[in-house]
Amino acid sequence: MKTIQQEEYTRLNRALHELEEILSCMGVKEFTLSKDRHNMKIDTSDDNIDTDLLVSFCSNIDKLHHAKFGSDIAA
């Protein structure tokens, strides 16, 4: 894996903070994504949960994750 430069890190960090804000607005309390595992916890009492959007989003994240790390991930 290549080392990321400061500018790339800054952009990635900003994007992750924006993603955290978007997900929290959709009722997601925790979202973890790593090479070996991924997990999402949803606040089921939240009125803003759009399950179709979350399923679509997670599917797209999985595709990106598989493209980057391969298909040998533990679900």
Provide CB contacts within 8 A for 18, sequence distance 6+: none
pLDDT score, position 2: 64
Asked whether 21 and 44 are in contact (CB, 8 A), the reply is: no
pLDDT score, position 73: 47
The answer to whether the Cα torsion of 67, 68, 72, 75 is positive or negative is negative
**Is the pLDDT score of 66 beyond 70?**
yes
The pLDDT tens digits of the residues spanning 1-43 come to 567 788 888 888 888 888 888 888 877 888 776 667 777 787 7
Q: First-to-last CA distance in the chain?
A: 22
User: Which comes out higher in pLDDT, residue 70 or 71?
Assistant: 70
**Is the pLDDT score of 46 beyond 80?**
no
Distance, CA of 8 to CA of 72 (rounded, Å): 26
pTM above 0.75, yes or no: no
